[in-house]
Amino acid sequence: MFSTGKYKLFEDRRDAGERLGEQLKAKYEGQNPLIIGIPRGGVEVGYYVAAALKAEFSLVVSRKLPLPGNQELGFGAVTEQSGVYVSGFGREMLDEGTIEDIIEEQFVEVKRRVDLYRNGLPLPEMKGRIVILVDDGIAMGVTLVPVIALCRNNGASKVIIAVPVSGLSYDIHLSRADAIEVLFQPEDFQGVGQAYRHFGEFTDNQVLRLLRLGFK
């Protein structure tokens, strides 16, 4: 890893995914895990984790519920198969009608992405399998909470969260996963992008390119 001050930076999401994959190999290689990337940035990290583990790769679409007036702050999330998570913070801050409007809006985007990324095809088989959920980092982690439930509902034997970077604390409901694997947890963490030299937005076209590419 690279070092700048207190931070050990990843070069980019590919670098982070390759390093994370190497970390996970000792525990999960050869166990037929299913690697699930969380769009958008988690797809690139997850792709290289799957390559390292020689594992099946797919994605699950999950969308943060943004707080009105502060789009970066999520008070919950929605995911495929009608999964919804609203934090206690969100219920304290917003009335039920506002919450329902935001949920409906984000479900529209979830459907758009499922149709675009998987052509509406179903998720791969999870029953009896270890499912590893990969994102490019955890700020609060709300987008992962309903995905854990989705994997349980689809019969996953274990649900593992794996990320290159996070803070020292995050949404308590991530504890519903069987394990959380994190490479790097800076004490003065302020955002996922700080851990990367090259971060930036990961686009729909980049997601589609990786899904078409497969493993050679």
Q: Quick check: 168 and 189 in contact, CB under 8 A?
A: yes
Tens of pLDDT along 11-68?
999 999 999 999 999 999 999 999 999 999 999 999 999 999 999 999 999 999 999 9
CA-closest candidate to residue 207, choices 43, 62, 35:
43
Q: Three-state DSSP class for 188?
A: coil
Tens of pLDDT along 124-182?
999 999 999 999 999 999 999 999 999 999 999 999 999 999 999 999 999 999 999 99
Tens of pLDDT along 207-216?
999 988 865 4
Number of H helices, E strands in the chain: 6, 10
Q: Alpha-carbon distance 160 to 4, whole Å?
A: 30
Domain boundaries, the chain: 13-62+126-213
Going 196 to 201 to 206 to 208, the CA torsion angle's sign is positive
Phi, psi of 186, rounded to the nearest 5 degrees: -65, 140
Q: Is residue 2 predicted with pLDDT exceeding 60?
A: no
* Contacts for 140 with CB less than 8 Å, ≥ 6 apart: 74, 170, 171
CATH code assigned to 13-62+126-213: 3.40.50.2020
Q: Quick check: 61 and 81 in contact, CB under 8 A?
A: no
Q: Is residue 189 predicted with pLDDT exceeding 60?
A: yes
